[in-house]
Amino acid sequence: MATLKEVQSKITSVKKTKQITKAMNMVATSRLRGAQTAMEAFRPYAEKFSEVLGNIADKAGDDASPLLTPREEVNKVNIVLMTSDRGLCGGFNFNLIEAAEKLMKEKLSQGIDVSFTNFGKKGRDWCRNNKVQITREYLGVVGGKFGFNVASTSGQELIDGFLDGSFDEVYVILANFQGMAAQPPVVKQLLPIPIIETADAEIDDDTSYIAEHIIEPSPDELLNEMLPKNIFIQIYNGLLETSTSEHAARMKAMDNATKACNDMIENLTLAYNKARQAAITMELMDIIGGAEALKG
Amino acid sequence: MAELLKLEVVTPEQYVISEDVEIVMAPGTLGEFGVLSGHTPFLTSLKPGRINYKDSTGKEKIIFVSGGFSEALPDRVTVLAESAERRRDIDLDRARAALERAQKRLAQEKSDNISFERAKIAMYRAIERIKIAETRGL
């Protein structure tokens, strides 16, 4: 049986842990709100862009851009892995890294070289521990405040790498924010750009005017300008989703931790009361025993 | 009064403006173009530069765009730019610093280099921002 003092100090320490997890939960909640606002702010741009891109892709020739052409022989693959910088967010990073590992093993088994571009410290650390080649790392982006320029700089580097033959394919792994409870990892092919869906999902008289658009400079040239931006948009979107997911995952993890702390405090208090009661009973027995002895 | 059309300027980070305007002038890659209500459907890429427009009260306003695309339809103009700022929101100090940086880079790089091209564009953007910002309060 633990002594009173031991139990008491344990309770104090669990209470302190609870304060921390509760505070982290609140921080994650407010950051989540910020991240969601950024996601919402991005949506109008992304929607309009993909609408226009779909229309242009329809009009341009199939071989309009080298970014669209798959390589005949794939020898080198780059994987853009998005994780958080910090831990304490449950299985969030683990899931992302697991997806990365699966993709990497699949590529390696086909005799393809794999290198990584890392957003986030956790993925970077994993790459380092496993001696995987890292082409570029960006820390302090996911989960924080970042602008579109992060996506365009990193995207431009990937495009340059693809064009000069450093990589034949580029994939991105991100956390898809589906809501508070689910942020599954998703693997997307970034380069060569998979076939662009044309925006004929909503066929009404609204789309028919597109056919009459005057396009400057020309559909092919415009497409060539838009495709790199499409990559940036995908990266930016991935960063936004991963950040939002990180905060959601941390909120959930910290909520669970706080609940676990409450359970522990309850159990420990029970143990404390029991120990105290036992001590009182013992003392009473002593007193009664003493009194009986005096009576003689 | 002329019929109005809707001007929307959108960047990945925010909605810059969405308002009814009389006329829009925008810097297309093949030259500046103007849009009035009833324009034929038109799609073009944009150079870094300024968008001039007259709002519904006839007041002239300027927005800086860093390049992007514009779609004109009979009743609206949508501008998709990587960054765009209203004249009063331009950060003049930052633009000046960017100009200095770009000039330094231009001095170092060789002219057939791709980063030379990028520095040139960056310089152009900075100059345009400064020019617009300096018309403030005129």
pLDDT in tens, A159-178: 999 999 999 999 999 999 99
Cα B43 from chain centre: 15
Please check whether residue A34 lies inside any domain of the structure: no
* Three-class SS state of A250: helix
> Domain check: are A67 and A84 in the same one?
yes
CB-CB neighbors (< 8 A) of A45 in chain B: 10-12, 80
ipTM of the predicted structure?
A: 0.83
Please check whether residue A164 lies inside any domain of the structure: yes
Chain-chain contact of A216 with B73 (C-beta, under 8 angstroms): no
CATH number at residue A144: 3.40.1380.10
> Domain check: are A280 and A177 in the same one?
no
- Nearest-by-CA chain B residue for A218: B44
Chain-chain contact of A213 with B11 (C-beta, under 8 angstroms): no
Q: CA of A140, closest CA in chain B: separation in Å?
A: 18
Please check whether residue A110 lies inside any domain of the structure: yes
pLDDT at A211: 56
> Domain check: are A272 and A232 in the same one?
no
Mutate to test the interface with A, among B33, B71, B77 (most CBs of A within 10 A): B71
pLDDT at A209: 47
pLDDT at B1: 56
Q: CA of A103, closest CA in chain B: separation in Å?
A: 30
> Domain check: are A58 and A112 in the same one?
yes
Between residues 24 and 63 of chain A, which touch chain B (CB distance below 8 Å)? 38, 41-42, 44-46, 48-49, 52, 55-56
- Provide the 10 A C-beta neighbour count for residue A17: 16
What confidence category does residue A225 fall into, taking pLDDT thresholds of 50, 70 and 90?
confident
What is the average per-residue pLDDT within A258-286? 94
Chain-chain contact of A52 with B71 (C-beta, under 8 angstroms): yes
> Domain check: are A68 and A202 in the same one?
yes
- Provide the 10 A C-beta neighbour count for residue A9: 11
Specify the fold of B90-134.
Answer: 1.20.5
> Domain check: are A210 and A266 in the same one?
no
Domain residue limits at A15: 4-26+252-289
Is 0.80 surpassed by the pTM of this model? yes
Chain-chain contact of A44 with B10 (C-beta, under 8 angstroms): yes
Specify the fold of B5-87.
Answer: ATP Synthase; domain 1 (2.60.15)
- Determine what percent of chain B is predicted with pLDDT higher than 70: 98
Among B130, B36, B55, B43, which Cα is nearest to B85's?
B130
What confidence category does residue A207 fall into, taking pLDDT thresholds of 50, 70 and 90?
very low
What confidence category does residue A205 fall into, taking pLDDT thresholds of 50, 70 and 90?
very low
Q: How many domains does chain A have?
A: 2
pLDDT at A69: 86
- Boundaries of every domain in chain B: 5-87, 90-134
* CB-CB contact of A223 with A64 (8 Å): yes
What is the average per-residue pLDDT within A13-32? 95
Token pair belonging to B41:
């459907």
- Provide the 10 A C-beta neighbour count for residue A149: 14
> Domain check: are A81 and A197 in the same one?
yes
Token pair belonging to A149:
């320029």
CB-CB neighbors (< 8 A) of B82 in chain A: 148, 152, 229, 232
CB-CB neighbors (< 8 A) of B83 in chain A: 148
CATH number at residue A17: 1.10.287.80
- Nearest-by-CA chain B residue for A233: B12
Identify which of A41-50, A94-103, B66-75 has the greatest average pLDDT: A94-103
